[in-house]
Structure 1
Amino acid sequence: MRRSVIIPVALHIFAAVATLLWLLWYFIPTGNVFNGLATLLILILAGWTVFRNCRRDAPASDATVSASDLPLPDIADPVVLVCGDRLDTLFQGSPLRKTAQGWWLRTDDVSRLTDVVSSIQKQFPRQVGQLSVMYRCLPDQHQDEAVLRATVKTLRQQSKQIQSLTGFTLPVVLSADFSGPETPWVIVRGDKPMVCQVNDSPQAFIDWQQVDDNIMALPAVEQAFSFIRTTLINELDKPDRLTPPVPVFSVAMRLGVVNPEAPSVWSAWLSSRTCLQFSRQSGQTTPTSVFPDAVLPLLAPFASTVQGGQRTRRLILLIWLCVLTALGISALNNRDLIRQVSADLQRWNAIPMNHYRPKAASLAALKQDALLLERWQRQGEPLRYSLGYYPGQRLWLALQQAIDTWTPPPAPEPKPLPKIVRLDSISLFDSGQSALKEGSTKILVNALVGIKAKPGWLIVVSGHTDNTGSDQLNQTLSLQRAEAVRNWMRDTGDVPESCFAVQGYGDSRPIASNDTPDGRAHNRRVEISLVPQADACRLPGTKPASQDVRDVSTQEMEK
């Protein structure tokens, strides 16, 4: 394959690969492993396609058109592929006839049209848009109408194959030469027949038939047109399940070429309808204008170079399909995003506000969604969402409104510090003694009204002294005084021994300075307090306080 063709092939394949990888990596929701394998497969197929096109050679057949047979690539005039009857009399040994308005290229047999177009497309892909087809029919050369119709049907089939090959339908021109009184070329485009004489401007058919004896040829001309409509155009336009109809671009017809006396479809047609018969007159020659050159200006507006050809059209189709697929996937991604955020919001709204633990878990999901949308607002949303209607701002506002309604659970009330009852040792004990004085009962009863034994609470009785005397003596005295108070509370209130803890601290924990008499008086004391302890003061048949505490804590957490 020529370098001028290899480079466009490589560029087209590169664009196709880039489009597929863009769709694969940015939109299709698959994993990296699948994307990597798919990318490798696409690259292998692309390399194989380039290699195959590089090694492909033009097929060696009779239909191959050499570069010398075709017009220059930079000229955009029409190129007419001529097929049909007796082409040797037209081209006279040369496969190409060049004119100032276009070119006539000989292709001989109708069945070779597709091969010729394929060869031109491979060698000169831009010139395919300049091509058109002219079928030359000589009814005087055909003795069987069925054979003639079969040839026209072959033209119809070739037009279908050419359309599949190039992507568009080539204009088809019908050219017919009939025996009869000599006339110039009559070109019919649409419903306006024009008479085109040699070296003269085109003339309306109605004006031509009024000149001299031209009206004498009118019956034969009318029958010629009737023959073309009934036999040729009818075969191209009639319904067919296998091949689509082929519209005729224009018709070129003339009379005057008289063949030797022989039965033909034209002579039979003319005789059966008009009883006219034509024979060769002495000195009659073949007309000089053998080509309907007046058709070329009509074809010129429809002849243009193709930008890229079928390969480019396929690439454009692939790009459009990828873009449409990306739009669809982007819409699905946005739909999934809306569903995800909506599900989180519905879960948030369904949980009562006093259920703090599940409410906090739902709040964490909302905050995660909001943070993701905020990052996309700053950095730009991913491409997989951007081609659809991205609802990021609307979703973010809904999330923020829900998050703002969050009310944190009330802080637990601080547990009251254990009540400490401080008793003055002077009012309870004589100096240096540990036995309760007479009259101390009233003081103990009034002071210990709030100290009540209950399961899970330990009654701690601690004794304290000043720094007068030795440490060992002070320690023993403080412990004995605490035991005396404990014994009184136990015996008076019938409180179990397990509800008490007795401690003697001596002078180790002063609350005032021992340098003054008043300070030393404050340091001589007995303190009674309640301290939580799971197994303290547990009565028979009563659950441990720890169990109660756990139950209460669990209930609070569930709320």
Structure 2
Amino acid sequence: MTLKLMRALALWSGCLALMVISVLPLSLSAQALAAFGALILVTGSWLLAKRRSSRLGGSLTLDECRALPGGEYRLPVVLVCGQGSSALFAADRGVDLAEQTALRTTASGCYVSVPSIERLPGMAAALLAARPQWRAQMSVMFVMNPAQHAGSTELEGQLRALTHQLSVIRRRALTLPLWVVSYQQASQDARDVGATGFSREEGGANGESVWFSWENGQPSARVRHNGTCVSVEDWQRQEPAALTDRMQLAVQMHAHAAWLEQCVVPHFTHPGRHRAPLPVTYAICRVPRLPEQVSGSVWQHWIQAKTGLLPTLLAGHAGGVLPVPDALLELLPRHTGNSATRRAGVIGIWLAVFAAVVAMSSSARQNTLLIRQVGDDLRRYASINETARDDQQARALREAALTVLHDDVRRLDDYYRYGEPRSLGLGLYRAEQLRIRVWHAIGRYRAPTQSVQASGPVRLDTLSLFNIGSAELKAESTQVLINALVGIKARPGWLIVVTGHTDATGSAEQNLRLSRDRAASVRDWMQRMGGIPGSCFAVQGYGASQPIASNDTEQGRRANRRVDIRLVPEEGACGSLSAGAGPATPVAFRGTR
């Protein structure tokens, strides 16, 4: 992945982290701390991306980077590895391997030497760091020459190392096509078999070589030569004069292919954790010179096991460069695996999905808690309100539950007017119906009315208020009335009843009129002094019909001469007084303020 894509992913991750932090139900200080942590992580990822890109780019020397084609190069780029791969690049056997040319460019493609199989993932990453546009053009060519391996153990070790390194590359989301190439040396007296393109005198570089290939798992071989691709039979019939030599060559190539089938193919087909991708093709080319052949090679042992004859070790030549399989490059898929941009896009999408899941989960939980809390408050209020108790404790519980409902509805009203917070948003807010229910519950509440018991009558001695036989208040009666009527309060729904009484002295008609007039005088004084409407009063005179003591004695007659004032509940009484005016004022004090 390129440096730009890695940094873009780091910035994208930081943005997603900030959005998730804004959704989580955190305090401002906690959100600031989390945002600062996210900023630190983004900065660290930015610097690590730069460091990783520099490290990968440093795997190639400055001269090698300069020798690479430019980023606009669109031909196949092949990473060549294997024990015999150095012969494709070294023009002189005396040159040290570290100083050999690591790059070979032809008209059909670019070949890059990998010094060892273990360095294959590093070389692939370094090439992508230097030329990120080459991702869809790269492939791996494994050179497997049986004549250069002294034992099967060494060969199997290289194959296992190859499959492991390819799995490492695949875990980095880079799938490189694989093709296996093998070279076979011609005998010392081999002739040019009818324009095959190779002879003892000519190396593979002069003229195009003949390649036998088994492509995409096909059992039959194809022959690629001079830009053509035909079957073995058609290739043999192209030159009748060289038919015998070509038939012999075909037999030798099929024997070589049988060795590949037995010793190499199983390593790419067996199931396992490090299973490598199936090679695109197995290709064999016969060359006049094959360097670094060993005595007692696996090829000699295999031929001896099949024929019972020990083949002669052919003398290798120090000079020459092995031909590259340009004719096979057209078999390579040009777009293999995910591009770096696509991979970064997939990672970005998964990061967004993860952030969305976290945000949605948090919002769902917060909405659930809100609905549960308000619902519990409603149920608690309803259960308290349904109780028949009306004592002080029940009223206190009811008022406390109502206060909680007021807090809830104030909070829900703010959400309704100004929008719910992000921690409850993302389309999951469902508390609007609860807001209406809370308002209905509050609207049905009725404040308890203060119960007022009808008090006992205020009894006034008429001798303190009136002269004998008179209904006119004496001048000194004002203070007596003020002191006596301090507890009488006018309130809506209560009637102030003023009742006059006399003793049995005199006629009954005169006593009845006198008792009524004295009650009216007291009523008038109370109305004048307190500013109380007349609808609050009732005046009655009973004469001597309701004595409270015996009229036979002076003391009893004095007790019967009285004016009683009492409060009596009556619907509609004192209706002109405001019910919300607060506590009633004693009528005796209203006019004296």
Give me the TM-score of the superposition, normalised by structure 2. 0.63
Aligned residue number for residue 529 of structure 1: 565
Once residues 14 and 277 of structure 2 are traced to their aligned partners in structure 1, the CA distance between those partners, rounded to angstroms, is 38
**1:190 and 2:217 matched:** yes
Aligned residue number for residue 169 of structure 1: 175
Aligned residue number for residue 520 of structure 1: none
- Identify if the C-alpha distance between structure 1 residues 280 and 33 changes in structure 2 by more than 3 Å, giving closer, same or farther: same
- Identify if the C-alpha distance between structure 1 residues 232 and 384 changes in structure 2 by more than 3 Å, giving closer, same or farther: farther
- One-letter identity of the residue aligned with 2:446: P
Matching residue within 429, 432, 438 for 2:505: 438
Secondary structure of 2:222's counterpart equals strand
**1:16 and 2:13 matched:** yes
**1:228 and 2:260 matched:** yes
Q: What does 1:336-351 align with in structure 2 at a 5 Å threshold?
A: 336-351=369-384
Aligned residue number for residue 141 of structure 2: 134
Query: How big is each residue's C-alpha offset from its partner over 1:232-268, in whole Å with a ceiling of 9 and x where there is no partner?
Result: 232344455xx52112231232252365794321232
Query: How big is each residue's C-alpha offset from its partner over 1:211-250, in whole Å with a ceiling of 9 and x where there is no partner?
Result: 645555555444433322332232344455xx52112231
- Identify if the C-alpha distance between structure 1 residues 464 and 31 changes in structure 2 by more than 3 Å, giving closer, same or farther: closer
Q: Is the 8 A contact 1:237 1:245 kept in 2?
A: yes
Matching residue within 312, 325, 331 for 1:298: 331
Once residues 392 and 432 of structure 1 are traced to their aligned partners in structure 2, the CA distance between those partners, rounded to angstroms, is 71
**1:26 and 2:23 matched:** yes
Query: How big is each residue's C-alpha offset from its partner over 1:146-199, in whole Å with a ceiling of 9 and x where there is no partner?
Result: 1011111121222233334x3333222211223579852314113365624232
Q: What does 1:13-412 align with in structure 2 at a 5 Å threshold?
A: 13-27=10-24, 29-51=25-47, 57-58=54-55, 64=61, 66-91=64-89, 92=91, 94-164=101-171, 166-179=172-185, 184-191=211-218, 195-204=222-231, 208=235, 212-213=243-244, 214=246, 216-217=248-249, 219-240=251-272, 243-257=273-287, 262-274=295-307, 290-303=323-336, 306-308=339-341, 316-353=349-386, 357=395, 358=397, 361-362=400-401, 365-366=404-405, 368-369=407-408, 372-373=411-412, 375-377=414-416, 379-387=418-426, 389-393=428-432, 395-396=434-435, 403=441, 406=444, 408=446
Once residues 172 and 431 of structure 1 are traced to their aligned partners in structure 2, the CA distance between those partners, rounded to angstroms, is 132
Instruction: Kindly state the Cα deviation for residue 26 of structure 1 after the two structures are TM-superposed.
Output: 1.7
Percent identical pairs in the alignment equals: 21
Once residues 180 and 448 of structure 1 are traced to their aligned partners in structure 2, the CA distance between those partners, rounded to angstroms, is 156
Once residues 492 and 220 of structure 1 are traced to their aligned partners in structure 2, the CA distance between those partners, rounded to angstroms, is 157
Query: How big is each residue's C-alpha offset from its partner over 1:318-372, in whole Å with a ceiling of 9 and x where there is no partner?
Result: 4433222223222322322332233234334434446684556545545654554
Once residues 342 and 2 of structure 2 are traced to their aligned partners in structure 1, the CA distance between those partners, rounded to angstroms, is 11
- Any stretches of 5+ residues in structure 2 without a counterpart? 92-99, 188-195, 197-209, 475-501, 526-542, 569-593
Query: How big is each residue's C-alpha offset from its partner over 1:131-154, in whole Å with a ceiling of 9 and x where there is no partner?
Result: 221111111111201101111112
Q: Is the 8 A contact 1:143 1:263 kept in 2?
A: yes
- Identify if the C-alpha distance between structure 1 residues 15 and 463 changes in structure 2 by more than 3 Å, giving closer, same or farther: same
Secondary structure of 1:273's counterpart equals helix
- One-letter identity of the residue aligned with 1:383: R
Instruction: Kindly state the Cα deviation for residue 24 of structure 1 after the two structures are TM-superposed.
Output: 1.6
Q: Is the 8 A contact 2:163 2:268 kept in 1?
A: yes
- Any stretches of 5+ residues in structure 1 without a counterpart? 450-459, 468-484, 502-524, 533-559
RMSD: 5.2
- One-letter identity of the residue aligned with 2:36: L
- Identify if the C-alpha distance between structure 1 residues 62 and 380 changes in structure 2 by more than 3 Å, giving closer, same or farther: closer
Secondary structure of 2:150's counterpart equals coil
- Deviates most, 326-335 or 313-322: 313-322
Once residues 29 and 228 of structure 2 are traced to their aligned partners in structure 1, the CA distance between those partners, rounded to angstroms, is 72
- One-letter identity of the residue aligned with 2:117: V
Q: Is the 8 A contact 1:78 1:102 kept in 2?
A: yes
Once residues 346 and 41 of structure 2 are traced to their aligned partners in structure 1, the CA distance between those partners, rounded to angstroms, is 20
Once residues 464 and 62 of structure 1 are traced to their aligned partners in structure 2, the CA distance between those partners, rounded to angstroms, is 118
Q: Is the 8 A contact 2:147 2:299 kept in 1?
A: yes
Instruction: Kindly state the Cα deviation for residue 438 of structure 1 after the two structures are TM-superposed.
Output: 1.9
Once residues 414 and 471 of structure 2 are traced to their aligned partners in structure 1, the CA distance between those partners, rounded to angstroms, is 78
- Identify if the C-alpha distance between structure 1 residues 274 and 375 changes in structure 2 by more than 3 Å, giving closer, same or farther: farther
Instruction: Kindly state the Cα deviation for residue 206 of structure 1 after the two structures are TM-superposed.
Output: 6.7
- Identify if the C-alpha distance between structure 1 residues 418 and 273 changes in structure 2 by more than 3 Å, giving closer, same or farther: same
Instruction: Kindly state the Cα deviation for residue 82 of structure 1 after the two structures are TM-superposed.
Output: 0.6
Q: Is the 8 A contact 1:334 1:391 kept in 2?
A: yes
Q: Is the 8 A contact 1:345 1:399 kept in 2?
A: yes
Secondary structure of 2:225's counterpart equals coil
Instruction: Kindly state the Cα deviation for residue 72 of structure 1 after the two structures are TM-superposed.
Output: 2.0
Once residues 180 and 334 of structure 1 are traced to their aligned partners in structure 2, the CA distance between those partners, rounded to angstroms, is 81
Q: Is the 8 A contact 1:187 1:294 kept in 2?
A: no
Query: How big is each residue's C-alpha offset from its partner over 1:425-460, in whole Å with a ceiling of 9 and x where there is no partner?
Result: 9996169999978237898799999xxxxxxxxxx9
Once residues 68 and 433 of structure 1 are traced to their aligned partners in structure 2, the CA distance between those partners, rounded to angstroms, is 129
- Identify if the C-alpha distance between structure 1 residues 6 and 203 changes in structure 2 by more than 3 Å, giving closer, same or farther: closer
Once residues 337 and 465 of structure 1 are traced to their aligned partners in structure 2, the CA distance between those partners, rounded to angstroms, is 61
Give me the TM-score of the superposition, normalised by structure 1. 0.66
Once residues 447 and 205 of structure 1 are traced to their aligned partners in structure 2, the CA distance between those partners, rounded to angstroms, is 151
- One-letter identity of the residue aligned with 2:181: S
Q: Is the 8 A contact 2:7 2:45 kept in 1?
A: no
- Deviates most, 61-70 or 30-39: 61-70
- Deviates most, 11-20 or 415-424: 415-424
Once residues 473 and 124 of structure 2 are traced to their aligned partners in structure 1, the CA distance between those partners, rounded to angstroms, is 133
Q: Is the 8 A contact 1:125 1:309 kept in 2?
A: no
- One-letter identity of the residue aligned with 1:346: R
Q: What does 1:430-469 align with in structure 2 at a 5 Å threshold?
A: 438-439=505-506
